[in-house]
């Protein structure tokens, strides 16, 4: 089950929000596989020995009856910013696809490609071998330049997406304003030719 929303832990007896909005943890208080539970199972954890607690989806349907601690939204914003940073990193490092060939966008690969691009004027080689999916692929200097530029463009676009999310978060004034944020982010295309 893919979850697109953030969740908060609530105390139903006190009608208060206990945690900041976050992705559901895999393990919490001896409950394994929290993300695999239904929203109904999550909202009432009495079955797990937590009679007053529940994880509730933090979206536009979140009940307005729950109270928030002072300064909750400022700390919640920081938690969401960290979540978006982690998601950006995951998107950024998934790599690109250049002419149907997967190329990493991790630091090691980026450095290797940049060094190839920089050393080309000093070498007599016109093609470079690249290992992909157990096979050796030949790239020329035009390919290396395009790949380097594509990776730079893709990584920068990922940062731009994160920056726009952070700007939106900074405009939030009340805890319930944060309910519009979720994990459904459209990252840039990583396919180039």
Selection from 16, 21, 6, 4 nearest residue 63 by Cα: 16
Residue listed under structure tokens 């909750």: 72
The ranges assigned to domains in the chain are 1-67, 71-193
Which tens digit of pLDDT belongs to each residue from 79-130? 999 999 999 999 999 999 999 999 999 999 899 888 888 876 655 567 888 8
pTM of the predicted model over 0.85: yes
Answer for the pair 56, 19: CB distance below 8 angstroms, yes or no.
Answer: no
Which tens digit of pLDDT belongs to each residue from 120-139? 665 556 788 888 778 898 88
Provide the token pair at 54: 């529940």
Q: What is the DSSP letter of 186?
A: -
How much of the chain is helix, strand and coil, in % rounded to 5? 45, 20, 35
């Amino acid at each position: 089950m893919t979850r697109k929303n953030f969740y908060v832990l609530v105390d139903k007896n006190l009608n208060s929000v206990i945690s900041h909005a976050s992705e559901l943890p895999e393990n919490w208080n001896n409950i394994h596989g929290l993300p695999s539970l239904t929203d109904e199972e999550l909202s009432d954890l009495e079955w797990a020995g937590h009679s007053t607690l529940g994880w509730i989806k933090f979206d536009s349907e979140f009940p307005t009856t729950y109270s928030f601690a002072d300064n909750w939204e400022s700390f919640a914003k920081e938690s969401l910013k960290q979540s978006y940073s982690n998601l950006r990193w995951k998107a950024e490092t998934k790599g690109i696809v250049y002419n149907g060939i997967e190329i990493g966008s991790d630091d090691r690969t980026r450095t290797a490609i940049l060094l190839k691009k920089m050393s080309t004027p000093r070498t007599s080689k016109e093609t470079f071998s690249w290992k992909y999916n157990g096979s050796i692929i030949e790239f020329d200097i035009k390919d290396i330049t395009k790949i380097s530029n594509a990776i730079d463009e893709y990584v920068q676009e990922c940062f731009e997406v994160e920056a726009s999310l952070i700007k939106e978060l900074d405009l939030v004034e009340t805890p319930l304003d944060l309910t519009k944020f979720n994990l459904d982010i459209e990252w840039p295309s990583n396919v180039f030719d």
